[in-house]
Every structure is written in structure tokens, then in C-alpha cells.
Amino acid sequence: MRKHSLFARLFLIFIGFVLLVVLSFSVSFWFFHEKPYQGVAQKNLTNYTDLLIEKIGTPPDLSMAQKIADENDLLIVIEGPGMLYRSSGQKIPKKKLELMEKFPPSMRHKVYRHKKNFYIEVNHGWYRYTFTMIRDFKKIPPVFPIGIGVLMSFVWLLLSYQLVRRMFKSLDEIQKAAQEFAVGDFSRKLEEDGPQELKDLSASINKMANDIKEILDSKQELIIAVAHELRTPITRAKLGLEMLDDSSRKEELKEDVQEMATIVEDILEAERLKSNYTKLHKEDCFLEDLLNETIRDYFSSEKRIKLHIEAHPEISLDKNRYKIVIKNLISNALRYGSGKKVEVYLRQDSLCVRDYGEGIRSEDLPKIKDAFYRVEKSRTKNLGGIGLGLFLCGRIIEAHEHELHVDSEGLGKGSSFEVRFKA
């Protein structure tokens, strides 16, 4: 078994817990069932015998002695000149009494024991008093010791739980790290301590996170490098097209080249937003003004757009980048709206673009914001797009710490794209 093994520790905690529970019940039964009902009572009798004798009086008042015996379940025996009194018919087994060494007798007091009973003998003047309890302690139910045993077991259980929780504390950190890894944050480093198995697991997760981060960084660097390199030939292609004679073919080529340029810029912008070094140029603005400006710049001739201004939120945002979000959301709604109206709702905490066109299948909804993902598998010239618009929107919205929610009731029932602002 390996040193500091997790399973060895759990086994030891389990064995220790069982032993402590057994020990707790054993001690409670011994201490509370064998001793105190008798021991405490008899000890009190030792302390109060003088008081009892004083109440009985000298010479003894037998009626008072009988009253004390009846009220306290005592057997009182008084011996003296011409007197032998017993409060009940029970006899004292004098020959079988054992003098208790752990209660050293004084000149006047002696403590004896026989089976479960204690006998306190006191010499007072010409008289000798003997006191004992009549109650049978064996018949007292062991409820109290059981309760103490249960209570102690509960305490050991809590301690064992704390020990186990402390051992597995690193699992909480691993869970938090996994949640951060799931959203692309690989900055957390796990402490490699605790039981050997958890140390090995933490080390493996740290290595995995580093490897994934290196792969993603390499991918990002490659994408940025390729996109930058594509800018030069695209620029040359644009210049070359300007030198051609005007024709319908020339216009088609110019549209294709412009589309390529847009793709390159979208890729670069998306990767910039992913970088930790890219800062947003935020400023306070009324979103209604930005919405109207975007529609005026890009959709001034479009009659299908219906605005619903329900509030006038003022938000801190990067105007140029948020303008891209509004433009792309409305463009998608018009493109896939089947010629029907597109409604834009501006509320205090959200911006929603709603179309009544083709809709989105439920299985496509989780992937709709992924890069280069398209609902229709075969790209057509009429629809256009390569699946970067929503991906870029998602990056911009995420950089503002806002949320993008996409919903659709199914094919032919339209879709809604809602941006929820940071509270």
C-alpha cells in the first residue's frame, strides 16, 4: 500500500470510528450503569448521614427515623443500649459486607459494599446507625447510558466527517478548475498536496490544462497569422479588379473578394476579443440611439424592420463593436426571415431581435454560436454567410460580460436572439 494512500486513510478513519463508537458505548454503560445511580446516591448519604442522625435525634426518635426511611427509600438500622431498630424487614448481611478501601473510613464513618448495594455505618454516641438504599439498581433501565453512547457516536461521526472532508478538500478545487476549463479559462493551477492519489490527479489536471492552453494558443496564433497573410492578396485582388472593364462578372468577383475581406476581418476581430490584452473602448451611451444609428447606416431602405422601444437604457459599452452585434443580428433575421417582418425589442435589461422565418431545430440550438457552424449544410449564394456572424457577436457580448440567448420553437416558427445586459 502506497505511503499516504487515500484508501489507507479512509480505512483507518473507518476503523477508528467503529472502535470509538464501541468504546463510547462500553464506557457509558460502565460509568453510568455500574456507578452513578449507586455511587452518587451513596456518596450523598455519606455526606448527609450526620444531618439525618441530627434529625432523628439522640436518643433516637424512631417515628422520625421511620418517616425519613419511607420518604427516601432507605433501610435504617439503629443499634444501642437496649435497642435494635429496623425501618423494614430487610436484613443486613453483616458477614458478607466488604469494607471499601477507596473510601477510607473516619473515626465515625465506615462504608461497606455487598453486591450492588452500599452500606454506610456511623457511630454516634452510644448508638450505631446503618444506612443503605432499598431500591434495586439492576432494574433501572439503561436509557441514560444509551443516550450518552449515541451522543458520543454522533460526535465521532462529525469528527470523522471533518477528517474526510479535509482529505477531499482538493476535490472542491478540482471541480472549480474543471468548471473554469469548460469556459476556456485555463489560468487556475491546482495545489498538488493531500493524499497521493489526489496529488497525482491534481498534477495530471495541471499538465492537461497546460497542454490544452498551448494547443489553443498555437491555434490562435496560426489563425491570426493566416488572416494577416490573406490581407495582402485580397488587397491586390481588389486593385486588379478595379483595372478590369465593367461587366456583370466584375461585380460578382468584387462581391466575392469583399466577402473574403469581411471573413478575414471577422476572424481577426474574434481572436482579438479572445485575447487578454484586448481592451474595450467603453463609453456611456443610450442604446436606443445606437440602435437607430445602426439601422440608418445599414438598413435604411429595409421596410420589414419593426422597432419596439419599451425602455431607454443607458449602458457602458464599446459602441463600434456593439454596432457590429446589432448589425449581425438584424442581418441574420432578415436573411432567414423568409421575407416576413423582423421585430426588434429594446427593454431596460435586454435587446431582442425576433424573426418569423425558417426557425432552428432544437438539436442545432446548442451549436448555433460556434464558429463556421451553419444550420443549412449546403451554402447557397442567396443566403450567403459562412457561420462567423453569430460567433463574432458572441465574442463581443461575452467581452462586455453580457449574455446572448438563442431560442426557437422549431422549423418554420422563427427564432429570437436576445442580448441580456449585465445587471
pLDDT, residue 7, reads 59
Positions of the chain with pLDDT under 50: 1-2, 36-38, 137-140, 277, 378-381
Exposed / middle / buried, residue 322 (Cβ in 10 Å: 0-12, 13-18, 19+): buried
pLDDT, residue 88, reads 85
ω into 104 cis (within 30 of 0) = no
Which residues are 124's β-sheet partners? 127
pLDDT, residue 138, reads 46
Q: Check: CB of residue 330 under 8 Å from CB of residue 343.
A: no
C-alpha cell at 159: 469528527
Question: Closest Cα to residue 414, out of 334, 353, 337, 304?
Answer: 337
| CA torsion, ordered 324, 329, 330, 336, to nearest 10 deg | 140
Q: Map residue 3 onto helix, strand or coil.
A: coil
The torsion angles phi and psi of 71, rounded to 5 degrees, stand at -70, -25
Q: How far apart are CA 264 and CA 231, in angstroms?
A: 7
pLDDT, residue 137, reads 47
Q: Map residue 290 onto helix, strand or coil.
A: helix
pLDDT, residue 346, reads 95
Q: How far apart are CA 65 and CA 123, in angstroms?
A: 16
pTM for this model (two decimals): 0.48
